[in-house]
Amino acid sequence: MAETNFVDYVKIHCKSGHGGAGSAHLRREKFIPKGGPDGGDGGRGGHIILEGNRHKWTLLHLKYQKHIKAGNGEAGGGQKKSGADGEDITLEVPLGTIVRDGETGEFIFEITEHGEQKVLMQGGRGGLGNDHFKSSTNQTPRYAQPGEEGEEGWKILELKILADVGLVGFPSAGKSTLLSVVSAAKPKIADYPFTTLTPNLGIVGHREQQSFVMADIPGIIEGAHEGKGLGLRFLRHIERNPMLLFMVPADSPDHLKEYNILLNELEKYNPELLDKQRLLTISKADMLDQELMKEISAELKGIPHLFFSSVTGFNVQQLKDKIWQILNS
């Protein structure tokens, strides 16, 4: 997915349709000069609906469609004819899309299933025709209900990527390289910080035709929970992953300190993130010999960890086995 095409936040103005007015028609035919009320009901105003689509990965298609307007319901007619309902507008969104109120930021709902539909803006109800108001004491009501107004306002759509495993680490920890090795994803890779500017997804094949989805999240830096670096914009994607794979490169000056900084940033952003399953890995292990691996293991003081190298393939299969075991524990 091209970085410029990945959009995970849009603000759109929505307006559902007005309901059609009920009819106050009185039946008038030859030989039936006083046929009584026969006004039909107005049609319902069109809804604005969100529908989940597993084949969409971005909100790009809504970025330039800021104003969404559904159709109005038609008025009722004589002979108890109901007006047609207004045209509904259905917007397809990626799974993991959250809807918030554009003014208050209040959470409204989320879309997590393919084909799931939820009404974002309810169309106004159509008015009742005068036929509904006749009675023994009022046999010729000359009034009917007007249609209800539709809803109108700004809504915020946020995308939180749905993946089984989220890669967490400082810039240049080797996250994109790992994803490119274990999946068909082709993220941008270079030897400078913040190569990855948007999340990348890859389907990782495992033994016996099993698979899981891995997300490469842009690198975290100290202070990310305050918005530093790429900060809050991408930390929210980690909330969706049931497992977090922490990556600290072999050439880090202090592996334990770097791991603790990552944990601290996640805790300050959302303490519940520390309740997720997690695994610490030491990437770029081709730079290490057995003696250095023993020194790093001693430094990590009993924290479960795994050494691997995406470049040489060292322990990559063992890493996939371990991830699968954790996901299915």
Mean pLDDT by 10 residues, the chain (329 residues): 66 96 88 83 97 88 91 94 96 92 94 95 96 88 94 93 84 84 64 52 81 78 49 66 92 93 87 91 94 93 92 94 91
The type of residue at 1 is: M
Position 177 scores a pLDDT of: 87
Cα gap 182→204, rounded to integer Å: 6
The model carries a pTM of 0.67
SS3 at position 105: coil
165-327 in CATH: which number? 3.40.50.300
Cα gap 206→273, rounded to integer Å: 26
- Looking at residue 256, what DSSP letter applies? H
Q: Specify the fold of 1-159.
A: Spo0b-associated Gtp-binding Protein; Chain: A, (2.70.210)
**Element of type H or E holding 231:** helix 231-238
Q: Let me know if 134 is exposed, middle or buried by CB neighbors in 10 A (0-12, 13-18, 19+).
A: middle
Position 121 scores a pLDDT of: 96
In terms of Cα–Cα distance, which of 59, 43, 122 is closest to 91? Answer: 59
Q: What residues contact 35, with CB distance under 8 A and at least 6 apart?
A: 26, 27, 28, 29
Which pair of structure tokens corresponds to residue 96?
A: 């993991």
Position 140 scores a pLDDT of: 87
Position 185 scores a pLDDT of: 60
Cα gap 277→266, rounded to integer Å: 13
Cα gap 37→297, rounded to integer Å: 87
* Residue 227: count of CB within 10 angstroms of its CB: 11
- Looking at residue 191, what DSSP letter applies? S
Position 228 scores a pLDDT of: 47
Give me the phi and psi of 321, to 5 degrees please.
-60, -45
Cα gap 285→291, rounded to integer Å: 12
SS3 at position 271: helix
Cα gap 189→307, rounded to integer Å: 21
Position 4 scores a pLDDT of: 53
The distance between the two most distant Cα atoms of the chain, rounded to a whole number of Å, is: 108
1-159 shares its CATH topology with 165-327: no
Give the full edge-to-edge strand order of the sheet including 48-52: 89-93, 48-52, 117-121
Position 35 scores a pLDDT of: 76
DSSP of 256-318, one letter per residue?
Answer: HHHHHHHHHHHHHH-GGGGGSEEEEEEE-GGG--HHHHHHHHHHTTT--EEE--TTT-TTHHH
Q: Where are the domains of the chain?
A: 1-159, 165-327
Alpha-carbon separation of residue 62 from 90, 96, 304 (angstroms):
12, 15, 43
